[in-house]
Chain A
Amino acid sequence: MALDSKVPKGPIKDKWTNYINHIDLVNPANKRNIDIIVVGTGLAGGSASATLAELGYNVKAFAYQDSPRRAHSIAAQGGINAAKNYQGDGDSVYRLFYDTVKGGDYRSREANVYRLAEVSANIIDQCVAQGVPFARDYGGLLDNRSFGGVLVSRTFYAKGQTGQQLLLGAYSAMNRQIARGKIEMFNRHEMLDVVKVDGKARGIIARNLVTGEIERHSAHAVVIATGGYGNVFFLSTNAMGSNATAAWKIHKKGAYFANPCYTQIHPTCIPRSGDYQSKLTLMSESLRNDGRIWVPKNLEDVKAIREGRKKPTDLAPEERDYYLERRYPAFGNLVPRDVASRAAKERCDAGYGVNQTGEAVYLDFASAIDRYGKEQAKIQGIDKPSKAKIYELGQAIVEAKYGNLFQMYEKIVDENPYETPMMIYPAVHYTMGGIWVDYNLQTTVPGLYCIGEANFSDHGANRLGASALMQGLADGYFVLPYTIGDYLSNEIRTGKIATDTKEFDEAEKDVTDRIDFFINNKGTKSVDYFHKKLGNIMWNKAGMSRNEKDLKDAMAEIKALREEFWKEVSVPGSANEMNTELAKAGRVADFLELGELFAKDALERNESCGGHFREESVELDGEQKGEAKRNDKDYAYVSAWEYKGEPADAVLHKEALEFNDIELKQRSYK
């Protein structure tokens, strides 16, 4: 099947407006007769559910957590971008669009990104109207901060809990519709398959995680909003339950999976400490606004620090290598995430890592405390302030800005980050790849939509900070509610979809067969054993730096591990009860397939772009020597994979990326 992105014609700035003006609408009386299933209740799914219900559709929403409010969007810390230009620093829709396409290393679809930038400002208006308590300045107006990879301040925030506040906003909008009966909420439910009737998505099979009951739910359209697949690495900043099962199931039923290898490895996470580790904790990128990243200049100092003979604070400024400021003078510590992560890996691979594992660099706030302290002394009219006074005043400002993050760090690492620099190391955080969707956010299966992190569309090969929240809410509040209406306008005569059909029978049978297999297998190894092994393969061979040999090895090793899994996996308990191991087994089984496709995609893309770094594709000389080398001539396309049984047999479809409004350039942050 040829891929049709369905991007409207016309100048980029008019596409969305013209599209809205010309789509078919569903009249309010008919909306009452149309059902929509939304799987996932994070920013994308929560906002979509609320908006579709407000419009009058009957929404059934599903979450594996015990409440929609617990979706992992809640963990986003730093902020949300919007082209409001409140700071008057030259921001505009075009500039946000440009930054996002450039930040994504020219691997996203121009028209989608422009639309995202266009609706971004509305998100802030909407959230404020909902009572989201964004940070304000003393004049009572909204405050902004800046984030990596851009030269303006366009990020709105609510302390270090922006994701939480935005999700609670969407959750409150959902609650209003749940109370009205327009959303039927299914908590502690997991979608285990999609049901297609005559080629169209018509429902799902879900498992009640409390009783184990298998349920059939039908609808006129199905929306997948289940987030990313970062947990294929086992260790990531994702929640423990974050999984790719819904996305993978729809892939197996005909939805193409796009760019699986595009993974964001976030530079500012707390380094790992031992084999027992269950997840990694992110420290907001906003810390890079004020923190300076460094390692010692001399290997003797590295050794002394590792052995505890020296403390980082013992090193004079000239004994430190502020390597981001050295390599990228224009952006310094605020280079995009992929660049910052690779630079940390480069230093640590060269032996400069500052902890026992050799995988940590410093993030230091001493300069910021000093700068803010002096500024405050001036504001408060303190003449010739003492060093201690400056420190006290500066620390108070840093605490007000990042207090909760500093507290979080101290609880985990047991060190006071005001007194000694934090240690950080990159960790898997976000997946730019995902289910392929067209301009309407529809997958290659009619009636099946995919929004938020679960789709591939807006971030190209690298996502800029504070853009995930923006995309999730844009898709759910402002894009999908229009585009899905265009499809549903043809469904007004369909009537209720029956669930006692052979399509539902077959889908349910597949689901119960698999569950029965797990329960009866009585293998010798736990689900986590396999998940950890998969994570190791992914991190070592398809992580921050990739090459042909490693990727081929990874594919073979994952395949072998998958075969072992189906022989040896052990799932205690029964199917008809709350059984967390059973739920995990199904998710890991899907990760074991997705991981192989991931490696295959990374192998096929023999260029370096954004978060995907191929060792075979680097600049060999000039100012950019050693930096990632993109290859627009051969790889300016989206890789959309069609399922054909084994992941290794997946068939590649290419969507050519055309850039009419932005000139393709090498990304330079020097």
Chain B
Amino acid sequence: MNLTLKIWRQNDSSTKGRMVDYKVSDISEHMSFLEMMDVLNEQLIGKGEEPVAFDHDCREGICGMCSMYINGEAHGPDRGITTCQLHMRTFKDGDTITIEPFRAAAFPVIKDLVVDRSAFDRIQQSGGYISVNTSGNTQDANTTPISKHAADTAMDAATCIGCGACVATCKNSSAMLFVGAKVSQYALLPQGQVEAADRVKNMVAQMDLEGFGNCTNTGACEVECPKGISLENIARMNRELMKANL
């Protein structure tokens, strides 16, 4: 198929960006979206132009590195996937596709489609862990039984890949789904109880400091989340925060 691409080009964080049109032809429907981008870049390099910079790594939907805003949706039109899992069969011959970086005040653009998501790291550093040393001298793993339901729900929350689609999608650029997922994972497990109150307070404080907006219950984050992280996690975080502040 032949496509027109409208892509955000920006040299670095301090220069102004703009949309640039490109044409690509002979795109197979079996290609992944990023393989289509590879074709474009090979074409640009052949012409001596600079290829489009974009983040990507595992190309199997788990590392959370890829981050494009395609036709107005984080990770593009399909559901439950990252950009690297989006396939060209989702598009039609002759389509025009708009490709932008994830946009949020807390995710400054580094170059073209690459953004800086280190705010997520700093939120995790503020409390997204259990304070246990890695000596190996902890108790036997089966000493504390954990109900299958709690373990499974914690796992569902823990599957977050930290891609930032929730933030890019949210009209308030809120990171509550991301933070809620991490708070929930630990709140649901007995190991996480000891530090639960401090954890949620510190993580929420850091989230606000980074410039993420608040949640107004639109739920777009849940729809666009490639891992199906549920809004329940935001509710649980709010409960945990209230408990912690009582």
Contacts and interface: CB of A to CB of B under 8 A. Distances in A.
A224 B42 CA distance: 32
Interface residues on A, range: 35 or more
A278 B133 contact: no
Interface string A128-160: 111101111111111000000000000000110
A54 B126 CA distance: 17
Given A86-B142, A274-B31, A578-B12, A129 B191 contact: yes
Interface stretch (A31-39, A161-169, A327-335, A417-425): A161-169
Given A128-B191, A133-B151, A412-B87, A175 B51 contact: no
B213 interface: no
A131 B145 CA distance: 13
B111 interface: yes
B45 A581 contact: yes
Contacts of B218: none
A131 B136 contact: no
Interface string A227-248: 0000000000101110000000
Instruction: Provide the main secondary structure of the chain B interface.
Output: loop
A617 interface: no
Contacts of B64: 69-70
Contact of A278 (B34, B134, B146): B34
Contact of A240 (B56, B125, B145, B154): B56
B217 to A, nearest CB: 27
Contacts of A139: 145
B63 A126 contact: no
Given A411-B85, A570-B45, A70 B63 contact: yes
Given A140-B148, A411-B81, A276 B38 contact: yes
Given A119-B136, A122-B136, A175 B128 contact: yes
A50 B129 CA distance: 12
B136 A67 contact: no
Given A74-B62, A273-B30, A414-B87, A278 B38 contact: yes
A274 B145 CA distance: 49
> Which of B34, B85, B155 counts the most A-chain CB atoms under 10 A from its CB?
B155
Given A75-B60, A240-B57, A578-B114, A412 B85 contact: yes
A68 to B, nearest CB: 8
Interface stretch (B115-123, B171-179, B233-241): B115-123
Contacts of B133: 54
B211 interface: no
A67 B120 contact: yes
Interface of B: 11-12, 28, 30-32, 34-35, 38-39, 42, 44-46, 48-51, 53, 55-65, 78, 80-81, 85, 87, 89, 110-111, 114, 116-118, 120-121, 124-126, 128-142, 145-148, 151-152, 154-155, 158-159, 161-162, 185-186, 189, 191-192
Interface in A238-295: 239-241, 273-274, 276-279, 281-282
B129 A276 contact: no
B148 A137 contact: yes
B139 A67 contact: no
A407 B12 CA distance: 37
Contacts of A279: 59-60
A319 to B, nearest CB: 29
A580 B52 CA distance: 9
A84 interface: yes
25 contacts: A66-B65, A66-B117, A67-B118, A67-B120, A67-B162, A70-B63, A128-B191, A130-B191, A131-B186, A136-B152, A140-B151, A164-B161, A165-B158, A173-B129, A175-B125, A210-B110, A239-B63, A276-B35, A276-B38, A278-B32, A279-B59, A412-B85, A477-B134, A572-B45, A580-B53
Contacts of B42: 526, 528
A281 B30 CA distance: 14
B125 A178 contact: yes
A164 B60 CA distance: 12
Given A175-B121, A408-B61, A570-B48, 14 more contacts: A65-B65, A68-B121, A75-B62, A123-B136, A127-B141, A134-B141, A140-B147, A142-B141, A171-B124, A277-B35, A278-B59, A279-B59, A412-B87, A528-B38
